[in-house]
Amino acid sequence: MDFAMLRTLAGWTAAGRDCLAGLIGTLLALPALADGTVVHIDTLPVPIAALSECHDPANPGLTRRPFAGGVVFAARCPGNNANSVEELIWARDADGNDARLLSFPSPDERYGGGPSTVLSNVRWYPGSAEIQEIAVDQEQDICRSEGIWRLRGMPPQVENIHWRQTRDCDGNAGWEVLVDKRVKVEAK
């Protein structure tokens, strides 16, 4: 390795160091909205605290994540062995502006066919602004259900795009599809 090559590498190293320092500075200036950031209940924005009705004493924080053009705060509710239950609140930003408790319509007769403000075993699909629930209730005749909701618009409206349910608590057979508004992809 000659002196000219060392000088070139040193120049790249200094430029790389400056670039990295600038990037880190920019990232530190952004709000902390990483996927699943925990916000302690005592430090919640006032609009979120006013809407949140569900608190699990064992989990004194809410998770916060960017979702559907805003921020969703998820509060853990007391659940059971089969379900991790959460209440979801959407806001325009991390300060809780334009906050609203999300309500999830479903054809599930266990809830009178009306909307629910809590979901079980939530899965997040940020690319399509969809939220999935997989609920298990072995004490019910229909003991397993899966729903998918899409959040559309600003502020988002919640639309049930898929619902299926079964009497098989393990979910291996007997599925009945009650709602299917998902986009179908044709095989070529």
Is 11 domain-assigned? no
Is 73 domain-assigned? yes
Report the distance separating Cα 58 and Cα 158, nearest Å.
29
Is 119 domain-assigned? yes
Q: Which pLDDT belongs to residue 35?
A: 66
Report the distance separating Cα 178 and Cα 106, nearest Å.
9
- What is the model's pTM? 0.74
Domain that holds residue 127: 37-180
Tokens of 66: 């960017």
Q: Which pLDDT belongs to residue 29?
A: 32
Q: Count of domains in the chain?
A: 1
Is 96 domain-assigned? yes
Q: Which pLDDT belongs to residue 125?
A: 94
Is 188 domain-assigned? no
Q: Which pLDDT belongs to residue 41?
A: 75
Q: Which pLDDT belongs to residue 128?
A: 94
Is 29 domain-assigned? no
47 by DSSP, 3-state: which?
helix
DSSP annotation of 22: H
Is 132 domain-assigned? yes
Q: Which pLDDT belongs to residue 113?
A: 62
pLDDT averaged over consecutive 10-residue blocks of the chain (188 residues)?
43 45 35 64 87 78 92 88 90 96 83 79 94 90 93 94 94 93 69
